[in-house]
């Protein structure tokens, strides 16, 4: 299985990079994983609704340019379906069973995802109703993907 994580913005914090590198290395025995960063749109603090939509649309165009037609896309969104680690494991397992060998997770920027990206997604997923910085979400998602593969392999890591 091929897993791709598309995230908006460049990861700067060393501790986040190190954590993602560790889980990426661990995932190597389960899947091929790729992390893709797309540039975030620079924007001032106080944006109007129209300006926020424009920022999300520009970032959305960059995200969609990195997604191929055959990819199963999961949008990480606070309003998405609330899932457990076991739920994620089942979804990845179902993708494999149904021939969807390329799964792409999308994490939006600080303003979220554009409607065009959400529309392209095959599903919307949430790890909770809390707001996480999008950089931290990359680490959490990478760990949860690793946990899902461990669950599907019958290992006890997830306990």
The more confidently predicted of residues 1 and 110 is: 1
* 142 labeled binding residue: no
Q: What pLDDT score does 159 carry?
A: 55
* 24 labeled binding residue: no
pLDDT at residue 156 is higher than 80:
no
Does residue 157 sit within a domain? no
- Please identify which residue in the block is written with the tokens 């969609």: 64
* 104 labeled binding residue: no
Does residue 58 sit within a domain? yes
Q: What pLDDT score does 132 carry?
A: 85
Does residue 39 sit within a domain? yes
pLDDT (tens digit, 9 = 90+) per residue, 39-68?
A: 999 888 889 999 999 999 999 999 999 999
Distance between CA atoms of residues 31 and 101, nearest Å: 10
Distance between CA atoms of residues 38 and 108, nearest Å: 10
Q: What pLDDT score does 129 carry?
A: 86
* 130 labeled binding residue: yes
Q: What pLDDT score does 45 carry?
A: 83
Does residue 99 sit within a domain? yes
Does residue 158 sit within a domain? no
Distance between CA atoms of residues 81 and 118, nearest Å: 13
Q: Which domain holds residue 113?
A: 2-152
pLDDT (tens digit, 9 = 90+) per residue, 66-116?
A: 999 999 999 999 889 999 999 999 999 999 999 999 999 999 998 999 999
Give the CATH number for residue 91: 3.40.1280.10
Q: What is the mean pLDDT of the chain?
A: 94
Residue 128: burial class (beta carbons within 10 Å; 0-12, 13-18, 19+): exposed
pLDDT at residue 133 is higher than 80:
yes
Does residue 113 sit within a domain? yes
Question: Both tokens of residue 150?
Answer: 């461990």
* 154 labeled binding residue: no
Nearest in space to 144 (alpha carbons), one of 118, 105, 98: 105
* 64 labeled binding residue: no
Q: What pLDDT score does 43 carry?
A: 81
Q: How many domains does the chain have?
A: 1
Does residue 140 sit within a domain? yes
Distance between CA atoms of residues 159 and 156, nearest Å: 6
* 128 labeled binding residue: yes
Q: How much is the pTM? A: 0.94
């Amino acid at each position: 299985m091929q897993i791709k994580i598309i995230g908006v913005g460049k990861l700067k914090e060393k501790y986040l990079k190190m954590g993602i590198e560790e889980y990426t290395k661990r995932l190597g025995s389960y899947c091929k994983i790729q992390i893709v960063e797309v540039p975030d749109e620079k924007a001032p603090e106080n944006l109007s609704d129209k300006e926020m939509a424009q920022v999300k649309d520009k970032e959305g165009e960059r995200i969609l340019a990195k997604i191929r037609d055959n990819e199963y896309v999961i949008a990480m969104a606070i309003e998405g379906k609330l899932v457990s680690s076991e739920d994620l494991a089942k979804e990845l397992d179902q993708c494999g069973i149904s021939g969807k060998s390329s799964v792409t997770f999308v994490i939006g920027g600080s303003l979220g995802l554009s409607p065009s990206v959400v529309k392209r997604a095959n599903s919307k997923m949430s790890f909770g109703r809390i707001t996480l910085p999008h950089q931290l979400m990359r680490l959490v998602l990478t760990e949860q993907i690793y946990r899902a593969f461990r669950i599907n392999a019958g290992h006890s890591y997830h306990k």
